[in-house]
A and B are shown apart, each in its own frame.
Chain A
Amino acid sequence: MELFIKIHSNYEETLNLTVKDENTMSEIHKTLDARGLSCPMPVLKSKKALKEINVGQVLEILSTDPGSMADIPAWTRTTGQELLTSEERGPKDFRYLVKRMK
């Protein structure tokens, strides 16, 4: 059992290490799946998720809300966080990378 836990935690560690963004090459520490949620939930959940990572770490946000294209940047600007990426991957498929600055 102990061995299993050891292997399992090693496995998770490896998984965490391998999650990297292709373009910015930044390591993603947490992913928030806000798909299906509408305003204002993506911003509210992002704020919550950002509190769960450390300063300097990166949060990935997935959303289907077209309003998030304006709202996530407005939120990061106002709160002084860094928006690394903001991409529209499809008609209702948005992805953001936010680096926690404080």
Chain B
Amino acid sequence: MSEDKPKRMAIIASQGTLDAAYPPVILASTGVAMDMEVAIFFTFYGFDLIHKKRSKDLKVSPIANPAAPKAFGLMPVPNWMGMLPGMTRIATMMMKSWMKKANVAKFEELREACIEGGVRMIACQMTMDVMGIKEKDIIDGVETGGAATFLEFAKDADITLFM
């Protein structure tokens, strides 16, 4: 592969659920391991993934998500039941137990691997303003920027992903 110019991957993380939290950090950390330059732009609900407090409490929503873990295992549960009290908590608990059983790394661990590996973590400034988030609310190793910051990096990307 070309020695001088590394491959580049640009990712937009726009969702803040536990199930949607994994793909950006799995691909970004692996991209770094494959000698790529990687950036993740955290915007809208994706901002929760770099929010100190909120990233510790990511959840799986069973509503409008028929593939989400069901409370009663194999028994078919209509999707509308996802709106019942406690269903989000149950789906989240079940997903966490699946992940633990398969020995999947914790989200925080993969996010740490991204930062350690030099992934450019860009927090959307506009989202911060809209949601009233301060810089002190964000984890270390993250820079702030806007659409132009992301596009400047993404214009030369070999892979661009919206998640």
- Physical interaction between A and B: yes
Q: Interface of B with A (CB < 8 Å)?
A: 1, 7, 26, 29-30, 32-35, 102-105, 110, 113
Chain A interface main SS type: helix
Residue on B nearest A64 in the bound complex, by CB: B103
Q: Interface of A with B (CB < 8 Å)?
A: 36-41, 43-44, 46-47, 75, 78-80
Tell me if A43 and B30 are in contact (CB < 8 A). Answer: yes
Tell me if A79 and B34 are in contact (CB < 8 A). Answer: yes
Tell me if B30 and A78 are in contact (CB < 8 A). Answer: no
Known A-B contacts A39-B26, A78-B1; A44 and B33 likewise in contact (beta carbons under 8 Å): yes
Q: Distance in Å from the Cβ of A45 to the closest Cβ of chain B?
A: 9
Chain A positions within 8 Å of B103 at CB level: 36-38
Tell me if B30 and A40 are in contact (CB < 8 A). Answer: yes
Q: Distance in Å from the Cβ of A46 to the closest Cβ of chain B?
A: 7
Tell me if A47 and B104 are in contact (CB < 8 A). Answer: no
